[in-house]
Structures are given as C-alpha cells and as structure tokens.
Amino acid sequence: MVRAKNDDSAYVGRYLAVVADGMGGHAGGNIASASTVLDLVHLDRRHQRGDAGTELADEIQTANSLLSELVSTNPQLAGMGTTVTALLLNGDRLELAHIGDSRAYRLKNGVFEQITTDHTFVQRLIDEGRLRPEEAEVHPHKNVLMRVLGDVDASPELDLQTLEVEPGERWLLCSDGLTAVLNDRMVEQIVRETPNLDECVNALVELTLAGGSPDNVTVAVVEVALATGGEPEPELRPVLPSAREAAGEREVSAGGPAGAAAAGDAGPTEPAVRADLIREDLLSRPHLLVGAAALATETGQIPIVTQRSTERRAALMLTHKAQAPEGSLEDVPARRVRRWLGPAFVTLGVLILLAVLGFGYTWTQTRFYVAAAGDRVAVYNGVPQTLGPIQLSHVYERTTIPVSNLPEFRRSQLEGGLPASDLREAERIIEDLRGELRAVGCAPAEGPQATDGPGSDPTPGPSASSSPSPTASPSASRSASPSAAAGATAAPRAQPSPSDTPADPGAVTADCGGNLE
C-alpha cells in the first residue's frame, strides 16, 4: 500500500519453497530477491545429488556470490540485499535455510510455532535480555538487519535445520510485510481455521492490506503430502494451476538444446537466451512464482552476470547440469579468495605483534636500575614495569646496603628505581650510595654483615653502630659496651660526654637508621 515496486519474490514447487524479501531501501532490492529465487529453482526435484542440506546451503552461498558480481558490473546496485527463507524436501526430511527477517511457521500435531529466528538488531537485544518482545514493535531500529545476502559479506552465516516431516503438517513462509501488521495470534488463527490453502493465503494477504501494509507482503502456505503415483514419498502441496499440473515433473535434459545453448559462448543475445532457458525450465515443473521474480521472467529482464564464465555457470545451474564446462576452472569465484584473505591478514597481524613484543622484551633486558629488594639495595636487570602478569625485571645482584640506613630522599628514589643505562652505571650508583653512608659514619660492611651472638668478638669493629649500649655511663665512648647483647631491649639513649660533642657546631652527624641529625 506504500511502496512503488515489489521487492519480494517467492517460489513454491513440489519439493522447494522459497521466500525472499529484497531490501527496499536500495535500488536493487527487487533484483536481489529475483536473482536469488531464480538461482534456487533448479533444486525443485525429487532426489538431490548429495546431502540436501549442504546442497541448499551451497546454492544460497552461490546466489550470494552472484549478487556480488552483479554489483561489480553495475555499481549503481551497491548495497542491495535480500532475505531468504527456504524449505527443501528430501524424502521424509525437510531442510530449512534462513537468513534475514522473513519467517517460517509450522503447524504440526496441533502446535503452531515460529521455527526461524529474525536476524535483526531488536531480536538480538531481546535474546540478550535488554529488550522485552512487546517493546520491539515500537523500537526505532526494529527494521535494522544484522544478516542478509548481498554484496557486503562474501560468505554470510545461514541458520540451517534438518527436520523430520509427516504428511499433513502445514508450513507458512512470509516476508516481514505480514508480521508488521498481523501478530502471531491472528496468523495462527487463520492458518488453523482455513483448510483450503488458497483461501488461507488470500485471507492473510487481504488482512495485511486492510491494515495499511507499510511493506510488500508475500505469503506461501504449503502442506506435506504423499506423492500421487509411484512410491509413496512426501511432497509439498501448494495451490498449483491445473495447466501447469498437467506438465508433470519433466526436467530439462542437460544434453538437449538447452544444455547446448548454455555451453556456448556468451554473445549479445545472451540475456534473451538466458530468459528463454529459465522460462523453459520453469514450465517443465508445476510451480507458483510471484513477485519480482515472476515479473523478471515474464518480461525477460532477468539479472545476468556479464562475465562469460559465470554466465555459463548460471545457465548450467538452471538447466540442472552439475559440472561446469571444461576450461572454467580458471574463473574461481572471488568469494573463495576472500575467504582465506581474512585469516591470512589476521595471522600476519598476530606474527607482527609477537615480533614487536619479542624485540621489546629483548631490549628491556639490556637495561638496569637500582632499587630496594626487601631491606637491601639491589641491582635489577630490566625495567621497573610489568606487562600484565609478566614482570619485566629481576634481581641481578643484592648488595649489603640496608635501605633503612639511607637518607629519606634516597629511599624515595629507590621506590621508583634509579635508572642505569648499563651494568657499569648501576655499579657506580651503588658506590655513590656507599660513599654517602661513609660520609655520615654508617658505611655498610663490604661482605656479609656480622651479627652479635655467643662466641662473637666482644670488641666491635670500625663499622659498629655508634649508638651507646644500655649500660653506657655518661663518660662512655662511642664504642658499644662489651656486655651488650644482640637481643637486648633498647633503653633510653645515654647522654654523650663532652668529648663526644662535635668540635664544629655546624657539623652533621647521623644515626644509621637513616635520619640526618
């Protein structure tokens, strides 16, 4: 009721049902849906050549690559796309392939349910629990699609299912033009209560149009039934015109005139030849074709890929010939190349990143710095930083310099680390720290520090602490009392004798706890 052209296409035959909704916001929406549906009609046959689900998925991916080639030959079609929801019956199993926001519903054993999931932005929000289903109907981005066929993705992800079928079950395929107007409850009521398939379809379409129909609406209703004649094998039962019903299930012979024309060189009349081939193929089987695909078939304006090899391939596909003619292997579809380009670039990026990290780590191991290691000053190899859980440095050499003996500003410098360009400079910094301690009378021992204890020499060496012992008298010298014990509890500091007073009132002394006095 709103759009100027129909971007939907649909096909229903004995074994295949497809609904495609072209992206109406782009110039090629009708071309995308028509091309895709017409690329799949050759699957409408009783027996598939291999696994039916794999063949259906492969043909949809091939249809996607043909859309990309159409865009490459006509840039005005850039951005076109289409949804696809397809059913392929193979024996007693039904293969379902889906991408986009068209839907498939099933009525089986009295249960009516939606089988497909919309690939829309609002559906993703619903799945993540960020949006309620009733809010999705009024969401400003409810029509934003996350996955479609088109020239955007060389190998789009399809939802694939294999389902067992029983005679009498009913399926409804529709574009989102139906569900934009009718809710699931109304759709279910009509599908349940309308036995005649033609009346069911007409009721759904008429109610949608009466509701304003802001988008194109396409509906296909099929039932699974036992084939008439031959082996009792299930087939789809759409509403089929009697004239086409009489055509039977003949297939175009790949070796006949159609096959010969397909294998020939593409010439100026190729589009007309292609249209004739498609029309002949469609007339050979009972089917219904509607929307943009039907219009393209009637007018002969069928989307054609202009490259000669892909033209032959498309024609052979439509005439049921599995292999392309000899010599066409040189024309590998571009999508196969694009499939490995992505992983190759990712692998190259990872290798470059690993090389950069390796060189960076190697450089850090040529650096040194001086910092505290517990209660001692140490030389570190590396840089004082971490990379996640990786420490970029380790203790190279631990000295005997107590951190607590250093002045406050030196201790603060050690917290961040004193950088050194190489080991020699780090050793020079250590010697500077020793010199500062000697200048205030707190030079550390050159080797491991001696500890007072039983059997040790009671006479302290030159490096003994200048603090007086607890038993020191007022006239005691700076040397500790021989009776001092290593674990004794400190008593108040004794008053120095007059001889201990510095000769120069401006001279600086220090205790070896690191505080300047």
> In this predicted model, which residue has the larger pLDDT, 252 or 197?
197
Residue 184: C-alpha distances to residues 99, 109, 127 (Å): 20, 18, 18
pTM recorded for the entire structure? 0.55
Using a pLDDT cut of 90, give the percent of the chain over it: 29
Position 141 pLDDT exceeds 90? no
> Predicted confidence band at 303 (pLDDT cuts at 50, 70, 90)?
low
Burial status of residue 517 (CB atoms within 10 A of its CB: 0-12, 13-18, 19 or more) = exposed
Q: pLDDT confidence of 304, banded at 50, 70, 90?
A: low
Complete DSSP assignment for 285-323: S-EEEEEHHHHHHHHT------SHHHHHHHHHHHTT--S
Angle at 497 between CA 515 and CA 469, to 5 degrees: 60
Rounded CA separation 8/400 (Å): 85
Helix (H, G, I), strand (E, B) or coil at 222: strand
Q: Backbone dihedral region of 142: left (phi > 0), alpha (psi from -120 to 50 degrees) or beta?
A: alpha
- Please give, one letter per residue, the 3-state secondary structure of 334-356: HHHHHHHHHHHHHHHHHHHHHHH
Domains (ranges, CATH) in the chain?
8-249+285-300 (3.60.40.10), 368-439 (3.30.70)
Find out whether 98 and 87 touch, Cβ atoms under 8 Å: no
**Of 107 and 214, more confident:** 107
For residue 393, name the pLDDT band (cuts at 50, 70, 90). Answer: confident
Please tell me the predicted confidence (pLDDT) of residue 231. Answer: 53
Look at residue 21 and tell me whether its pLDDT is greater than 70: yes
Task: Please state the φ and ψ torsions of residue 444, each to the nearest 5 degrees.
Answer: -75, 160
Is the confidence at residue 431, as pLDDT, over 70? yes
Which residues face 145 on adjacent strands?
120
The predicted model gives 128-147 an average pLDDT of 81
Dist. CA 130–CA 248, nearest whole Å: 52
Q: What is the pLDDT of residue 326?
A: 37
Q: Note the pLDDT tens digit of each residue in 26-56.
A: 568 899 999 999 989 989 988 877 789 999 9
Which position has the higher pLDDT, 118 or 500?
Answer: 118
**For residue 61, what pLDDT is reported?**
94
Grade residue 7 by pLDDT with cuts at 50, 70 and 90: very high
> Which among 170-179, 452-461, 498-507 has the top mean pLDDT?
170-179
In terms of Cα–Cα distance, which of 96, 95, 98, 70 is closest to 83?
98
Q: What is the pLDDT of residues 144-162, one digit of tens each?
A: 889 999 888 888 999 999 9
pLDDT reported for residue 226: 85
For position 323, what pLDDT does the model report? 37
CA–CA distance, 370 with 271 (Å, rounded to integer): 81
Which residue intervals of 365-499 are DSSP H helices?
408-416, 423-439
pLDDT band for 378, please (50, 70, 90 cuts): very high
Question: For residue range 74-110, what is the model confidence (pLDDT) as tens digits?
Answer: 888 888 899 999 999 998 899 999 999 999 999 999 9
Q: How many CB atoms lie within 10 A of CB 415?
A: 10
Q: Mean of the pLDDT values across residues 214-229?
A: 88
Backbone angles phi, psi at 149, to 5 degrees: -80, 150
Helices (H), 365-515: 408-416, 423-439
Contact 218, 174 (CB under 8 A): yes
How many Cα atoms sit within 13 Å of 299 on the Cβ side?
10
Q: Is the pLDDT of residue 57 over 90?
A: yes
Least confident stretch, 171-180, 189-198, 446-455: 446-455
How does the average pLDDT of the chain come out, rounded? 73
Nearest residue to 513 via CA among 433, 439, 440: 440
The candidate with the shortest Cα–Cα distance to 207, out of 182, 180, 189, is 182
208 pLDDT tier (thresholds 50, 70, 90): very high
Higher model confidence: residue 128 or residue 312? 128
266 pLDDT exceeds 60? no
* Cβ count near 339 (within 10 Å): 13
pLDDT at 273 over 50: no
Least confident range from 81-85, 174-178, 338-342, 461-465: namely 461-465
CB-based burial label for 416 (10 Å; 0-12, 13-18, 19+): exposed
Contacts (Cβ under 8 Å, ≥6 apart) of 347: none
Q: Is 163 helix (H, G, I), strand (E, B) or coil?
A: strand
Contact (Cβ atoms closer than 8 angstroms) between residue 378 and residue 398 = yes
